[in-house]
């Protein structure tokens, strides 16, 4: 495969900083930091008629919009389950898999080879990166970003403006509260809460049922409650500080925090 810069071919538009692929190439293999390749085939999106009629015949709802250029882009190579709803201006790429009774909201992206489980939600402007996995009944909220090859367990939540880094794993029944930034290769167990605005350094391990917020630079033991490098005895000191944002109700139900 030959890669040429646009400035070498006379094409205009990006100043030469991006490569362009010869049109005869069927696909480009992009290798992520994990060494795993994700093929990016030529785009082959369904037509409007196929979207609004063909998918409806399979029990998939495609929402219409009066906005200009808002028709969803759904690649023919995507697999979408019945009962799922696709909002305007979404993008679902080749090899992506979305389970039954799920929903992709406006401007959401499910990238190449990503998997979204049954009954899961991809919020407005949320991005599920290449090869990432979202478990059944889990939610990625507004502008949440689950990066390449990361995985979110079942019945879990990634809050608004939060990010889960490449190859990181968040367990079942866990919550990444609004604005938290989880680094690369982080391993978080089941029942974990990563608090609002938290920053988790690359490679940190967080044990089951731990509750953390602030800047976490080292491993966290199962059940531990920690802010930065300060450990608390019990959850009382941390409940109210964490129970706000779009996950407030979720946290109150999980930990029994009073209103």
**85 pLDDT more than 50:** yes
Q: What is the pLDDT of residues 166-191, one digit of tens each?
A: 999 999 999 999 999 999 999 999 99
**Mean pLDDT of all residues belonging to the chain:** 81
Same fold for the domain at 42-148 and the one at 150-259? Answer: yes
Q: Starting at the edge strand that comes first in sequence, how are the strands of the sheet with 91-92 ordered?
A: 73-74, 91-92, 109-110, 127-128, 145-146, 163-164, 181-182, 199-200, 215-216
H or E element, residue 242: helix 236-242
Averaged over 233-251, what is the pLDDT?
58
Write down the domain spans for the chain.
3-31, 42-148, 150-259
The domain defined by 150-259 folds into UDP N-Acetylglucosamine Acyltransferase; domain 1 (2.160.10)
Least confident among 14-23, 89-98, 122-131, 137-146 = 14-23
Q: Which of 210, 211, 215 is nearest to 229 (CA)?
A: 215
Q: What is the pLDDT of residues 102-146, one digit of tens each?
A: 999 999 999 999 999 999 999 999 999 999 999 999 999 999 999
Domain 42-148 in CATH 2.160.10.10 = yes
Averaged over 220-236, what is the pLDDT?
81
> Could you tell me which residue, 15 or 196, shows the higher pLDDT?
196
Two tokens, residue 108: 């959401």
Q: What is the CA radius of gyration of the chain?
A: 20
**12 pLDDT more than 50:** no
**Contact in structure between 95 and 76 (CB atoms under 8 Å):** no
C-alpha span between 185 and 10 (Å, rounded): 41
Task: Identify the pLDDT of residue 42.
Answer: 67
């Amino acid at each position: 495969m030959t890669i040429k810069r646009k400035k070498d071919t006379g094409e205009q538009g990006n100043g030469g900083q991006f490569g362009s692929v010869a049109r005869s190439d069927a696909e480009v293999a992009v290798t992520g930091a994990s060494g795993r390749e994700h093929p990016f085939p030529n785009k082959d999106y369904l037509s409007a008629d196929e979207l609004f009629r063909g998918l409806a015949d399979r029990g998939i709802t495609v929402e219409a919009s009066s906005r200009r250029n808002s028709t969803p882009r759904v690649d023919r190579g995507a697999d979408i389950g019945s009962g799922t709803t696709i909002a305007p201006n979404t993008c679902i790429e080749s090899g992506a898999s979305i389970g039954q009774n799920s929903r992709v909201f406006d401007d959401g992206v499910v990238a190449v080879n990503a998997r979204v489980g049954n009954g899961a939600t991809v919020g407005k402007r949320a991005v599920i990166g290449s090869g990432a996995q979202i478990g059944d009944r889990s939610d990625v909220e507004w502008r949440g970003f689950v990066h390449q090859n990361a995985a979110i367990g079942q019945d879990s939540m990634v809050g608004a403006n939060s990010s889960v880094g490449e190859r990181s794993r968040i367990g079942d029944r866990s919550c990444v509260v609004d604005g938290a930034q989880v680094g690369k290769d982080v391993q978080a167990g089941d029942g974990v809460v990563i608090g609002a605005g938290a920053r988790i350094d690359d490679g940190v391990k967080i044990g089951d049922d731990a509750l953390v917020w602030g800047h976490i630079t080292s491993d966290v033991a199962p059940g531990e409650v920690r802010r930065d490098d300060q450990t608390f005895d019990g959850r009382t000191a941390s409940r109210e500080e964490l129970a706000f944002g779009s996950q407030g109700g979720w946290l109150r139900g999980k930990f029994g925090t009073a209103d």
